[in-house]
């Protein structure tokens, strides 16, 4: 049954999980500082879209595959780690804001979506959320939609504020007077 207590518990859980350091926060920080808020919007919406699809799959039974075949989670962990290292390599040095011939760009919407499927932290968030906060006594569609909607509301609000704050950091990083200190 969906109650206000469950909504609040799930919202707080999602907020805490998104506020802790992870690959999505790193990507959004780099994007917000380097490209600003407007160019980071595809990330702000792509990450929750991909994570929402991921959560829906877990709600609809994909999580049981990880329980039955734990090797799948190990494979995902290694593939995800390799991809995160690849992204770190690509982002290395990309925060040089003064560089004029910079060919870097923020992740595209579909890239942010696809990134969630190799993000180990995102899989842990989904599995834990379904285990702890999945509403009882509702049909599977209502339960899944509830979980995805609450997650997306928290996710979009939090990441919008996160990137907006990074835009202010960008101003300080570009300030030539502060660079002397």
* Predicted confidence (pLDDT) per residue in 37-91, tens digit: 899 999 999 999 999 999 999 888 876 776 677 787 778 778 777 877 776 676 6
Q: What is the pLDDT of residue 99?
A: 53
Of the CA atoms within 13 Å of residue 170, those in its CB half-sphere come to: 19
Q: What average pLDDT does the chain have? A: 82
Q: Residue 4: pLDDT band by 50, 70, 90 thresholds?
A: very high
* Residue spans of alpha helices (H) in the chain: 4-19, 23-57, 63-68, 70-91, 109-115, 120-133, 140-174, 176-179
* Predicted confidence (pLDDT) per residue in 7-42, tens digit: 999 999 999 988 888 889 888 888 888 888 899 999
Please give the C-alpha separations between residue 98 and each of 37, 93, 163, 176, 178, in angstroms, as whole numbers. 18, 12, 20, 10, 14
CA distance 42 to 62: 27
Q: Residue 6: pLDDT band by 50, 70, 90 thresholds?
A: very high
Is the model's pLDDT at 130 over the cut of 90? no
DSSP state of 104: -
Instruction: Please state the rounded mean pLDDT for residues 160-165.
Output: 88
Q: Please state the φ and ψ torsions of residue 20, each to the nearest 5 degrees.
A: -80, 150
Is the model's pLDDT at 92 over the cut of 80? no
SS3 69: coil
The residues, any chain, with a CB within 8 Å of residue 111's CB and separated by 6 or more, are 46
Q: What is the pTM of this model?
A: 0.76
Spell 51-83 as b/e; 16+ CB within 10 A means b: bbebbbebbeebbeebeeeeeebeebeeebeeb
CA distance 99 to 24: 25
Percent of all residues in the chain with a pLDDT value above 70, rounded to a whole number: 84
CA distance 148 to 37: 24
Q: What is the pLDDT of residue 118?
A: 86
Instruction: Please state the rounded mean pLDDT for residues 124-131.
Output: 84
């Amino acid at each position: 049954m969906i109650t206000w207590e469950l909504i609040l518990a799930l919202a707080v859980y999602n907020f805490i999980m998104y506020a802790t350091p992870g690959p999505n926060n790193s990507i959004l920080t780099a994007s917000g500082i380097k490209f600003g808020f407007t160019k980071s919007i595809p990330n702000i919406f792509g990450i929750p879209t991909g994570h929402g699809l991921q959560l829906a799959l877990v709600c609809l039974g994909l999580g049981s595959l990880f329980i039955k075949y734990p090797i799948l989670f190990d494979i995902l962990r290694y593939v995800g780690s390799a991809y995160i290292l690849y992204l770190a390599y690509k982002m290395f040095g990309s925060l040089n804001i003064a560089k004029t011939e910079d060919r870097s760009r923020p992740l595209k919407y579909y890239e942010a979506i696809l990134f969630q499927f190799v993000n180990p932290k995102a899989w842990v968030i989904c599995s834990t959320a379904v285990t702890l906060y999945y509403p009882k006594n509702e049909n599977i569609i209502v339960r899944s939609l509830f979980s995805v909607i609450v997650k997306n509301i928290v996710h979009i609000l939090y990441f919008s504020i996160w990137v907006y704050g990074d835009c202010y950091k960008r101003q300080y990083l570009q300030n030539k007077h502060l660079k002397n200190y």
